[in-house]
Amino acid sequence: MTPDRETVTGPDLVVMSLEPWDDVWRRNQYLVAGLLRERPSARVLFVEPVSDPVHAVTRGAWPRPGRGLRPAPDVEGVGPRRLWLLEPTKLLPRRVAPHGDERRAAVVLRAARRLGLARPVLWVNDPYGATLARVSGWPTLYDVTDDWTAATRGPAESRRVAESDRYLVEHAAAVTVCSPTLASRKADARSVVLVTNGVDVERYRRPAARPADLPHGATAVYVGTLHSDRLDVGLCEATARALAGVGSLVLVGPVALERPDVDRLRRAGVVVLGARPFDAVPAYLQHADALVVPHVVDDFTDSLDPLKLYEYRAVGRPVVSTPVAGFRDTSDPRVAVTPPDGFAAAVRDALAEPTRGPAGRPGTDLEPIPTWAHQVALMSDVVDAVRRPAPTPR
């Protein structure tokens, strides 16, 4: 609970998330956990992405069914059985079984009834949650964190995403966005509320021991999901080769790349560590000689508000980024923004600078760093506005 707000009650929430609830915390987890701490009588049903056994087989992974409805692992400051997780199963591809969104909506409705969530607020982060918004009649908040209408997809999927996004923008009781770019893109259709990402500054500045799996010598570290929509694989290869004999490029985060891309990175000398728990992330950032953002620059990444912007700035290490949203807009002198053709050389130069030892408590920030406590308060106000019935026209 934030110190300047009174404890409030309810409402219960159903959250349609683009990401699972796991040890790699992202925006949804920080906001949901904060709201549950602030609202001791509220409960949340957190709906994770479907488990897709058929797709797992095509990627060479072990297929498994969804884990269904279950209580979440313990969350600090949140009582037992107040947070529930639901992972449905997608049995067949859309081309074979085209009504998957309707089936998922039915699974969520059954789970909500089982938990006694009579009229929750529906918080939609996944655009395909539009179907649940239609059939449930629950008051809906659409939290837009990525412009999936700008992502590179096949024609059929692009059409489905655009239709779902349009429905939610037109019919949700409130729309929140995480970046100024998203705010401007949605402004023609309706008013929106800007709720950026944030960081727990004190936790990121609390000195931590150097991770044992961080390579010896100078390191340029990236923390985030490794996904081709964001990460420029070719640029990472070029950067790792440019650092040969100087240091290592280290990628920390869930691996959502295809296997050939991962193999390319490793052959170039990139150290791919994979996912690490959220409470271990500050140590990797603190002990990096430079922090990097080798992102693709396109309309999709231009819509993002990278969580790493706040995490990187909190630890006070030098940063080298391609000219993507957030990083190119900050006035923090520790952030160097360079086009892709100069990126590898800029990272090499950053590693050649004398190191200052592990980051601890940087000096005064030249611009405020948004905190999760503040962003939870903003989202809490939106949730309250959504659950209030609209005034009856006279």
Rounded CA separation 25/46 (Å): 14
Q: Which tokens in the block code for residue 133?
A: 């918004």
Instruction: Answer yes or no: do 108 and 58 share one domain.
Output: yes
Do 155 and 256 lie in one domain? The reply is no
Specify the 3-state DSSP secondary structure of 246. Answer: coil
Residues 186 and 256 in one domain: no
Burial tier of 259 (Cβ tally within 10 Å: 0-12, 13-18, 19+): exposed
Evaluate whether residue 40 is within a structural domain. yes
Task: Check residue 48 and give its pLDDT.
Answer: 97
- Examine the domain organization and report whether 70 and 189 are in the same domain: yes
**What pLDDT score does 355 carry?**
56
Count of the separate structural domains present in the chain: 2
Half-sphere exposure of 354 (CA within 13 A, CB side): 1
* Per-residue CA distances from 193 to 122, 123, 381 (Å): 17, 14, 10
Nearest alpha carbon to residue 233 among 250, 257, 253, 215: 257
DSSP code string of 88-118: -B--S-TTTSTTHHHHHHHHHHHHHHHHT-S
Q: Are 223 and 284 in contact (CB under 8 A)?
A: yes
Does residue 326 belong to any structural domain of this protein? yes
Q: Are residues 191 and 256 in the same domain?
A: no
Q: Provide the H-helix boundaries in 206-280.
A: 233-242, 259-267
The answer as to whether 83 is a domain residue is yes
Strand, helix or coil for residue 385: helix
Single-letter residue type at 128: Y
Are residue 255 and residue 176 in the same domain, yes or no?
no
Whether 107 maps to a domain, the answer reads yes
Residues 23 and 149 in one domain: yes
Please tell me the pTM assigned to this model: 0.89
In Å, the largest CA–CA distance within the chain is 74
Classify the C-alpha dihedral 215-338-263-90 as positive or negative: positive
**Containing structural domain, residue 327:** 201-352
Domain of 77, CATH number, reads: 3.40.50.2000
| Intervals of the chain under pLDDT 70 | 1-9, 54, 56-57, 59, 95-97, 354-366, 389-394
Q: Provide the 3-class DSSP secondary structure of residue 175.
A: strand
2 falls within a domain: no
Q: Is residue 6 part of a domain?
A: no
Q: Which residues of 171-200 are buried (b: 16+ CB within 10 A; e: fewer)?
A: ebbbbbbbbebbbebbeeeeebbebbbbbb
Same domain, yes or no: 205 and 189: no
Residues 134 and 65 grouped into a single domain:
yes
Does residue 359 form part of some domain? no
Q: Report the pLDDT value the prediction gives residue 187, as an integer from 0 to 100.
A: 82
For residue 8, is it within any domain? no
Same structural domain for residues 212 and 141? no
Same structural domain for residues 235 and 284? yes
Domain match, 28 and 73 both: yes
Which pLDDT score, from 0 to 100, does residue 154 have? 84
